[in-house]
Amino acid sequence: MTGVFVSFEGVDGVGKTTQVERLRAYLEAQGREVVVTREPGGTPLGQAIRRMLLHGVEGSDVDGSADIAARAEALLFAADRAQHVAEVIRPALERGAVVITDRYLDSSLAYQAGGRELTAAEIRSLSMWATNDLLPARTYLLDMDPELSHSRLQHEADRMESAGDGFQSRTRQAFLDLATAEPDRFRVIDASESIGEVWNAIREDIDEVLAAAGPTGGAR
């Protein structure tokens, strides 16, 4: 593959969408093909899975936050990721595009292993099998206190967002632990800074990532 794969991670409300769009515009201005996608929900199959993961199962008699068993949840995320890689990510990378995804494997590890106390090794193994070992060249972790980030949300909390302060704090720490374990892939950015300051940190780093990758087939 000749393209470049980039992911954005962090708890909800840290500003991933804003920075993804800035990065898209920046790279397209350079003449590169850019594919922006997300998890869960980056494919038609993923959209159906996303509805279950974020809003619970229709017709369930139990609380929406508890109607999907932890292991079933892990399998649903892995199924979404397998389809996402096969249908969207790998074909774009093979064309030489820059692929930017809002969430990927690390969200499963942080939210499921860190937040829901499942075994990280099992979740990672499942997702690596589902994606045939595909990892991003760079992962931007936008880090912020969950209490502050959630105050930014402008929509009704979904199933993950409403899981409680303890869950969100564990998830944040799980993201930071992942970044510590893989310092070559991760860049941790203070998302409490201004939008412009966060973007400047990303821009400076992505220039280095692209220079190291060399020219890609995605340059039009």
**Binding-site residues for ATP, please?**
10-17
β-strand partners of 9: 141
> Tokens at residue 135, please?
């990892």
Residues in the chain: 220
Q: Tell me phi and psi for residue 153, to 5 degrees.
A: -65, 135
Pairing assessment for the beta strands 138-143 and 98-102 based on DSSP bridges: unpaired
Known binding residues: 10-17
* Number of Cβ within a 10 Å radius of residue 197: 12
How far apart (Å, rounded) are the C-alpha atoms in residues 179 and 141? 8
SS3 213: helix
> Tokens at residue 47, please?
């959209």
